Structure 1
Amino acid sequence: MIKVCETDAVADGEVLRVELDGLVPLAVYNTEGEFFVTDDTCSHGDASLAEGFLEGTEIECPWHSGKFCLRTGRALTFPAVEPIRVYPVTLEGNAILIPTPTGEAVPRGCSGECRPEEAGTNATPART
């Protein structure tokens, strides 16, 4: 497991960009006490998703308004058509942890709207 950051580094409704040696930049999200981690770079362009607009469990890219589901990584709105990588999150005390990334993650289990009941996804939100 890799420690990404502490929970208190990400206020509710906020996104934090994290750069760790040997990994692509990551985005850490806190939405109503649930924490998610994705790759930070939009799949449509080189925009930082941490600079985007968080609404519930969706992040909107600041450049072209493509939206992604934080639970699955699925692209929800055009021009984004490729998913972003999501990581299962584990909370250990105050630490936000993800598994060491290996290979490509393929989002699954989302039928168009980003809803908790469509679990069976790559991302497991962690609650405080």
Structure 2
Amino acid sequence: MIKICSTEDVPKGTAISADVDGTQIALVHGEDDNFYAVYDECSHAAVALSEGEVDGCTLECWLHGSRFDLRTGEPTGLPATEPVPVYPVEVRDGDIYVSLTPSNGVTR
């Protein structure tokens, strides 16, 4: 697990971009108060997902509106049809840690 930032750096309902050992991660504070990490690139349009909107447990791509489930990486709305990698997240003493081994088996 690699320390990314403090929980205070990611307000509820927002996403930030983080470079983790050369991998771009969208770190999301979901509306369910959990933290999620997904690969920061839409599988449809190759743009940053961290610039999109958080809605419940989904992250919407700002360009064409593809939505991805933050828990599974699966697209829940077109035009995307391929999932994005999801990375395990741990919160310890107010800090957020991410593993670069995808929990959903999807590689980039």
TM-score band, normalised by shorter chain = 0.7 to 0.9
Distance 1:24 1:44 in 2: 18
Distance 2:100 2:81 in 1: 26
Gaps of 5+ in 1: 107-128
Distance 2:23 2:99 in 1: 14
Distance 2:2 2:74 in 1: 24
What CA deviation, in whole Å up to 9, does each residue of 1:35-88 have, x standing for no partner? 001111111112111111110100110111111000000011111001011111
TM-score normalised by the chain length of structure 1: 0.75
Matched letter for residue 55 of structure 2: E
When structure 1 is superposed on structure 2, of 86-95 and 63-72 the one drifting more is: 86-95
State the identity as a percent.
Answer: 35
Cα RMSD after superposing both structures = 1.8
Does the 8 Å CA contact 2:87/2:100 hold for their aligned counterparts? no
1:67 matches 2:67: yes
Task: Name the residue aligned to 2:49.
Answer: 49
Distance 2:48 2:23 in 1: 11
Matched letter for residue 34 of structure 2: E
Matched letter for residue 98 of structure 1: V
SS in 2 for 1:8: helix
Matched letter for residue 99 of structure 1: S
The Cα of 1:101 is off from its aligned counterpart by: 2.9
Gaps of 5+ in 2: none
1:34 matches 2:65: no
CA, structure 1 residues 9+67, in 2 after alignment: closer, same or farther (shift >3 Å)?
same
Larger radius of gyration: 1
Task: Name the residue aligned to 2:58.
Answer: 58
